[in-house]
Structure 1
Amino acid sequence: MHIYIGGAYNGKRKYVKQYYQSYRQYVFEGEIPESSAFTTQDVVIVGRFEQLVQQLIHLTEDEVVEQLMEKLGQLDKVATLVCVCTDMGRGIVPLDKEQRFLRDTCGRLYQAMFAYSHQVTRIWYGIPQVIKET
């Protein structure tokens, strides 16, 4: 799994689409597709993790992270998985309980994703900076 993270409208998707332009790309926003639909020749790009977390707001943070990581892990086994993540935190704590849950759960999910992934790249206004590579 390769993760691209950055602030909103920092050029993450544009960079990813250009980087993988010579591959067959499938883009999913706010959903993780079933792994059986893809092969090792495919690049599956998943974004809008905050929407995925919002759909699972009835679960605990740990349950959300476990469920989403299981799906991502299955998909990563059959295709080149690219995750586009929006940095939501930056130290600002929302007053609204649901918004805090969203921010906190995305933070925990991103920690799990970063630990699992082989490469993490921060995109800052279209400029890539590799922050993890194994």
Structure 2
Amino acid sequence: MQSIIGGAYNGKRKFVKQLLEGQRVHFFEGEIPDRPFTKEEYVVIGGFEKMIPMFGDLTEDEIVNQLMDKLRKLDEETNLICICTEIGRGIVPLSKDDRHLRDTCGRLYQQLFKRSEKVIRVWYGIPEILKENRE
């Protein structure tokens, strides 16, 4: 698994499209697909901030666990890339729902980055490798 993080409209998807040019790639926004893929394919998932509100009143940990279970399964069968939009930058939202969204995204991203072999931050179109496991 690889994870790409950056602010909204900072070039994350453009970077991934350039990186995977010529490969078999499936993009998903705001959903985790349920169908099978092969190790020759790439699955790119973005819009985690759109998925979290769909879980209703579940706790942060319950949401993160459910999402990570689906992502682990998908990661085992294909080349998974997660695109993560940074939504906090240290600012505490006023509303309870916005704080829940920010906090849950933060906890999810911690788990994604821990599992990822590579984590890249894209800031205004410039990629920076934050983590790279070389085996």
Once the two structures are TM-superposed, the CA of residue 22 in structure 1 deviates from its matched residue by: 1.6
Q: TM-score, normalised by structure 2?
A: 0.96
Q: Secondary structure at the match of 2:18?
A: helix
Q: Which runs of 5+ in 2 are unaligned?
A: none
Once the two structures are TM-superposed, the CA of residue 26 in structure 1 deviates from its matched residue by: 0.3
Residue identity in the other structure for 1:9: Y
Q: 2:19 matched to which residue of 1? A: 19
Q: 1:98 matched to which residue of 2? A: 97
Once the two structures are TM-superposed, the CA of residue 57 in structure 1 deviates from its matched residue by: 3.0
Once the two structures are TM-superposed, the CA of residue 132 in structure 1 deviates from its matched residue by: 0.4
Q: 1:48 matched to which residue of 2? A: 47
Aligned residues: 133
Q: CA RMSD in A?
A: 0.8
- Corresponding position: 1:128 with 2:127: yes
Percent identity between the two aligned chains: 56
Once the two structures are TM-superposed, the CA of residue 49 in structure 1 deviates from its matched residue by: 0.3
Q: Secondary structure at the match of 2:99?
A: helix
Q: How does 1:104-115 map to 2 (within 5 A)?
A: 104-115=103-114
Q: Which runs of 5+ in 1 are unaligned?
A: none
Once the two structures are TM-superposed, the CA of residue 131 in structure 1 deviates from its matched residue by: 0.2
Once the two structures are TM-superposed, the CA of residue 37 in structure 1 deviates from its matched residue by: 2.2
Cα deviation code 1:32-86 (max 9, x no counterpart): 011x421001100000000111111321100000000000000000110000000
